[in-house]
Amino acid sequence: MKYEVVIGLEIHVQLKTKTKMFSAAPYNYGAEPNTLTDPVVLGLPGTLPVLNYTAIEKCAELGLMLGCKIADVCKWDRKNYFYPDSPKNYQLTQNEQPLCVGGSIEIEMPGASRNIEGAHRWVELNRIHLEEDPGKLTHTAFDSLIDFNRAGVPLAEIVTEPNLYSSSEAVAFLNALRNLIIFSGISDCDMEKGQMRCDANVSLRPKGLETLGTRTEMKNLNSISNVKSAIEYEMKRQAEILDSGDKVIQETRRWDAAKNISLSLRSKEEAHDYRYFPDPDLMPVVMDKARIEVLNQMLPERPFDRQRRYQKDYDLPYTITSVLCANHQLSDFFEETLGLYNAPKAIANYLVNDLLRELASNSEQGASALSLSETKLKPQSIAELVEVVESGLISKQIAKEVFVEMFASGALPKSIIESKGLSQSNDSSEIEALCLEAIANNPKAVGQFKDGNIKAINALKGPVMKATQGKANPAILDELLQKLIESGE
Amino acid sequence: MSDLFYSNISELQAGLNNKTFTAVDLMQSVIERTEAVESEVNAFISRDIEDALKQAEASDKRRLAGASLGALDGIPVGIKDIMAVKGQPLRCASKMLESFVAPYDATCIEHLKASGAVIWGRLNMDEFAMGSSTENSAFSQTANPWNLDCIPGGSSGGSAASVAAGQTIVSIGTDTGGSIRQPAALCGVVGMKPTYGLASRYGLVAFASSLDQVGPFARTVKDAAILLESLVGYDPKDSTSLNRPKENYSKALEQPLRKLKLGVPSEFFGDGVDPEVKAAVEKAIDWYRSEGHTIVEISLPHSELCVPVYYIIATAEASSNLARFDGVRYSHRSSDAGNINELFNKSRGEGFGEEVKRRIILGTYVLSSGYYDAYYLRAQKVRSLIRNDFDQAFEQVDAILTPTTPTPAFKKGEKSDDPLSMYLSDIYTISVNLAGLPALSLPVGMTQEQLPIGMQIIGKAFGEADILSVAHAFESNHEFKDLRPNLDNSKQ
């Protein structure tokens, strides 16, 4: 392609607060329509907004996580436009002075393969500001219905600089941002529930040119794969326009995920004049610098920092750390388990391999994998499992069986081993009798072993394991078989 | 007992406590008076007689049980149709809210109810408080009780007229640019706008949020003080409300007035003021001088900019505040809209009156991209200059005396077609709102045609007790509080 794409993203994230930004009405996803409202949320005549300080703190925390400068004063503006999902026909937002300015986020580009770490780079942010979410419209064949439950939920709008240069970079950015926000506990960023939404500004320019081309803004991108598709669609559309010698029109476009196309929503000329002005109902809030410093000291670890720490301190490979640190629950679970039993590699292996497998296979048909919090598994379970394997109480083979049982019932490994009689047999005399039997029944394998084919010993181990239901200690068994074969010469 | 409706709060409390009459008797007296003169005055948009009597009964029960709630218990308080009273219509004198019933109480109403006041009626006003004559009401035209051909002033015209006509004991109104003081002056009653932030705006349907303030109407300064005490107080539901210790304003009136420095701004006594108004106010100023107070000539140099600045800031805020009346949820909905934009446009076109539309258009214009800096931002800067004028003046003086209005009440229809001339009737009151200061209007004279004249007393921020005391001193030495309009075809 002879063009370079330049992408800027605007991401709306619902902050996890108990109540709305300007009223005491509660919010939770999925409630009966119009049950989470009050006169303020509905914009009834005479009502006034009252600031929820938690929303400011959470937004400031996000800003600190991203290295933004936190404004000295938190101010509010009215953005005026008529739309039926907006109870007051203006939105309280921060136009003139965002709470957080600048900042950047570390992203990881896709590697050459899934197992290979990709290059890291930093994406510059322009600003993060707070605003209130509007209600939600549902259009039926004859009616349009409004649910004001969502109205007034605090949103942080994160605006990047136009410095993403491919659709995959945009995806990498969104994954990194989403993961960082989830790590910080500020939002769950569940895009299916509308907790994170994205608009993309896309423009093309001839490769090598500094000046930006005419951009279009894509709205309604409610999954990361939509963002990728929409950007790629727009790149192709704009390239065709430019190739034909035409000019790209600055406009807002709506992504239709069902049809995989974007449609013009309104041109620059039809753009709203939002008539911003400072909201006279809310007083500017002077930010408490000491409090900001406290928040700064208490910031959670950023996911990539955690990943580097795991690689450095525990010598864990990228294939493990990339999985652990892409999942906040899993990573925290790892740390808790590690606190109980210090065996990072073994613990990480159980989590990344066995646990993730169980989570995937135990979910409903077609549904996404279970989340860790939906299971009965405790860090104590994994710690104990690693301990019993390392102490030789059970084999790794048996451990897999114990894991499945402990995932299903929530019981601790030792009680499973006891109730099922799974403990490893270290009784040499019993194993010796079985070994002799195996040697007698497999002269061929014995011969091969003697000829130097060490692997042939496995054919002898099999029957012993089968007879002991896998409980024979493999180390003892190995040693015993070799000794018996050699002494049998 | 026939004169109960024209009694003041102290007299009524004495009678209620002595069991000379009951709160129900008082309410009946007010109701009878209201019914007798309402066809002439038209002060009310609606009134719920049954509900008022029920509240009065409850007050009597409290008093019998020895649990009276204080000075306002059992006293009828008329309410401007812009304050939310749970279960009562809240129309703002607009077709837009013709069928809206408030589902909650304004904080000021909660305070009044907690004081035992009898919430009485919905008083007429200019639509959404936009106007100076109460002619912009979608429902009725209120008359000035002193001359039924004249307007009562506005926007709280019903609140002023009802108090002057004895249709309530006291009332509350709202003041954005003079909407309490101007009608108080024209109807010959006391009307007061407190310092911005002293009374909660929660439940007051916003016109211009940075200027709106609730305040009392009464026939005496002391009644205004008693009502004010109940109205004000910090409200966590209003971010612009201030957390200050409560003051006992009526008690402050019992103290003899200390010798004060009273400022008289030359800009308020120029060509535009009616000679009779000027003479009456100057006479009042002379009285203060004769009482040993020092009269200081001061200057408020940016006064002439008040009206243009006000009509930029107030309309800008109004254009946004009134956007919620869109036909989607509770406001008037046009019956012939084919799509959402038609629904917005037609509902608003049908629901709002001319003056409201004029101000919404003006406010939309001054906020528009490309004009914002030239109008809105500039107006905010001038607003600071106006505030500075007052700050400097109050370094020299304790209170400022001016005419409340340039003229006495004018004839109905006289200025209806000339909005600019109508806007100028608030020329002396507007700067006080822009500066957020407290001010009251006190009756200080009558024209030869028997129309009341009001003097405005402006105080420092939170100087309510001072200006009430200044007013009280004059009132106690003059007979104006005892003058009644000649409406009494019902009683004579």
CA-based nearest residue to B305, from B387, B210, B201, B399: B387
Cross-chain residue pair B106–A48, CB shorter than 8 Å? no
With a CB cutoff of 8 Å and minimum separation 6, the contacts of B40 are B143, B145, B148, B487
Q: What does the longest C-alpha to C-alpha distance in chain B come to? A: 71
Angle between helices B354-367 and B306-321 (to 10 degrees): 100
pLDDT tens digit sequence for A273-325: 999 999 999 999 999 999 999 999 999 999 999 999 999 999 999 999 999 99
- CB-based contact B84 A46, cutoff 8 Å: yes
> Cβ contacts of residue B213 below 8 Å, gap of 6+?
B174, B175, B176, B193, B194, B195, B196, B198, B199, B201, B433
Position B384 in a domain: no
Structural domain boundaries enclosing B248: 4-263+396-490
In a domain, B146, yes or no: yes
Nearest to A78 among B104, B201, B320 (CB): B320
Residues A46, B202: C-beta atoms closer than 8 Å: yes
Mean per-residue pLDDT of chain A: 92
The kind and range of the H/E element at A5 are strand A3-14
Contact call for residues A36 and A22 (beta carbons, < 8 A): no
- Amino acid present at A368: S
- Give the integer Cα–Cα distance in Å for A348 and A350: 6
* Confidence band of A110 (pLDDT split at 50, 70, 90): very high
Q: In whole angstroms, what is the distance from residue B6 CA to residue B219 CA?
A: 9
> What's the structural domain count of chain B?
1
Strands A154-160 and A3-14: antiparallel
Query: Where in the sequence numbering do the catalytic residues of B fall?
Result: 80, 155, 179
Helix (H) or strand (E) holding A219: strand A216-221
Whether B442 is covered by a domain: the verdict is yes
pLDDT of the residue at B490: 46
> Which residues of chain A does B367 touch, with a Cβ-Cβ cutoff of 8 Å?
80, 275-277
Q: The domain that contains B192 carries what CATH number? A: 3.90.1300.10
User: Hey, what amino acid is at B467?
Assistant: I
In the predicted model, is pLDDT for residue A365 greater than 70? no
The residues, ordered by sequence, that sit 6+ positions from A133 with a Cβ below 8 Å of its Cβ are: A12, A14, A150, A151, A152, A153, A154, A155
Tally of CB atoms within 10 A around A100: 27
Which residue ranges of chain B lie beneath pLDDT 50?
1, 490-492
Strands A251-256 and B76-80: unpaired
Handedness of CA A354, A357, A358, A359 (dihedral sign): positive
Give pLDDT, residue A430: 76
C-alpha distance from A57 to closest chain B C-alpha (Å): 18
Q: In B, which residues are within 8 Å of A87 by CB distance? A: 324, 329
* Beta carbon pairs, A and B, within 8 Å: 91
Per-domain boundaries in chain A:
3-293, 301-420, 428-487
Burial of A426-436, coded b for 16+ CB within 10 Å and e otherwise, reads eeeeebbebbe
Cβ distance B240 to A144 less than 8 Å, yes or no, reads no
For residue A159, what pLDDT is reported? 98
Sign of the CA dihedral B253, B258, B259, B263? negative
Q: Is residue B329 part of a domain?
A: no
**pLDDT computed for residue A426 by the predictor:** 64
Distance from CA of B320 to the nearest CA of A (A): 7
Average pLDDT over residues A30-35: 96
In a domain, B371, yes or no: no
Alpha carbon distance B165, A365 (integer Å): 78
A275 to A280, A421, B312, B366: CA distances (angstroms): 14, 75, 14, 9
**Residue type present at position B334:** S
Q: Does B103 touch chain A (CB under 8 A)?
A: yes
**Mean pLDDT, rounded, for A256-265:** 91
Total residues belonging to chain A: 489
Displacement of CA A23 from its chain's centroid (Å):
30
**Backbone region of residue B19 per phi and psi (left: phi > 0; alpha: psi in -120 to 50; beta: other values):** left
How far A205 CA sits from the closest chain B CA (Å)? 29
Q: Give the residue-averaged pLDDT of A373-390.
A: 90
Q: Is some CB atom of chain A closer than 8 A to the CB atom of B206?
A: yes
Contacts of A43 in chain B (CB under 8 A): 324
Tokens of A97: 């002075």
Whether A117 and A108 have beta carbons less than 8 Å apart is answered as: yes
Say yes or no for a CB contact (<8 Å) between A281 and B320: no
pLDDT of residue A366: 64
Rounded to whole angstroms, how far apart are CA atoms A103 and A69? Answer: 7
Question: Is the CB of residue B158 less than 8 Å from the CB of residue B200?
Answer: no
What does the DSSP assignment read for A128-187? EEEEE---EEEE-SS-EEEE-SSTT-EEEEEEE-S-B-SHHHHHHHHHHHHHHHHHHTS-
Q: What is the 3-state secondary structure (H, E, C) of B148-202?
A: CCECCCCCCHHHHHHHHCCCCCEEEEEECCCCCHHHHHHHCCEEEECCCCCCCCC
How distant is the Cα of B35 from the closest Cα of chain A, in angstroms? 30
**Chain-chain contact of A48 with B237 (C-beta, under 8 angstroms):** yes
AA letter at B175? D
Query: Is B186 contained in some domain?
Result: yes
Closest CA to B326 of A250, A89, A17, A399: A89
Residue A489 pLDDT more than 60? no
Q: Do B372 and A280 touch (CB under 8 A)?
A: no
Q: Is A384 helix (H, G, I), strand (E, B) or coil?
A: helix
Tell me which of A82, A96, A146 to substitute to probe the interface with B (most B C-beta atoms closer than 10 Å): A82
pLDDT, position B305: 95
Architecture (CATH level 2) of domain A428-487: Orthogonal Bundle (1.10)
Task: Tell whether the model's pLDDT for residue A483 goes beyond 90.
Answer: no
User: Would you say residue B296 lies in a domain?
Assistant: no
Asked if B83 is an interface residue toward chain A (Cβ–Cβ < 8 A), one would say: yes
Question: Hey, what long-range contacts does B373-376 have (CB within 8 A, 24 or more apart)?
Answer: B375/B312, B375/B316, B376/A277, B376/B312, B376/B313, B376/B316
**Phi-psi bin for B195: left (phi > 0), alpha (psi -120 to 50), beta?**
beta
- B438 within 8 A of B459, measured Cβ to Cβ: yes
Return the amino acid letter for A355.
Answer: L
HEC sequence for chain B:
CCCHHHCCHHHHHHHHHCCCCCHHHHHHHHHHHHHHHHHHHCCEEECCHHHHHHHHHHHHHHHHCCCCCCCCCCCEEEEECCECCCCCECCCCCHHHCCCECCCCCHHHHHHHHCCCEEEEEECCCHHHCCCCCCCCCCCCCCECCECCECCCCCCHHHHHHHHCCCCCEEEEEECCCCCHHHHHHHCCEEEECCCCCCCCCCECCCCCCCCEEEEEECCHHHHHHHHHHHCCCCCCCCCCCCCCCCCHHHHCCCCCCCCEEEEEHHHHCCCCCHHHHHHHHHHHHHHHHCCCEEEEECCCCHHHHHHHHHHHHHHHHHHHHHHCCCCCCCCCCCCCCCHHHHHHHHHHHHCCHHHHHHHHHHHHHHCCCCCHHHHHHHHHHHHHHHHHHHHHHHHCCEEEEECCCCCCCECCCCCCCHHHHHHHHCCCHHHHHHCCCEEEEEEEECCCCCEEEEEEEECCCCHHHHHHHHHHHHHCCCHHHCCCCCHHHCC
Burial tier of A417 (Cβ tally within 10 Å: 0-12, 13-18, 19+): buried
Chain B residues inside the 8 Å CB shell of A146: 328
A320 or A485, which is more confident:
A320
ipTM of the complex: 0.95
In contact, B141 and B135? CB cutoff 8 Å: yes
Give the tens place of pLDDT for each residue, A330-360. 999 999 999 999 999 999 999 999 888 888 8
Contact state of B240 with A281 under an 8 Å Cβ cutoff: yes
| Chain A residue nearest residue B322, CA to CA | A88
Q: Which amino acid is at B100?
A: F
Pick the residue from chain A with its C-alpha nearest to B314: A280
Decide: helix, strand or coil at residue A422: coil
**At A12, is the secondary structure helix, strand, or coil?**
strand
Cross-strand bridge partners of residue B456? B402, B441
Q: B438 to each of A130, B379, B460, B461, how far by Cα in Å?
A: 35, 21, 7, 6
DSSP code of A373?
A: G
H-run or E-run covering A3:
strand A3-14
Provide the pLDDT for residue B491.
44
> Is B165 part of a structural domain of the chain?
yes
Are the beta carbons of A91 and A78 closer than 8 angstroms?
A: yes
Contact state of B240 with A280 under an 8 Å Cβ cutoff: yes
Q: What is the pLDDT of residues A147-200, one digit of tens each?
A: 999 999 999 999 999 999 999 999 999 999 999 999 999 999 999 999 999 999
Of A46, A84, A277, the CB nearest to B328: A84
Which residue of chain A is at minimal alpha-carbon distance from B376? A277
Residue A345: other Cβ atoms inside 10 A = 13
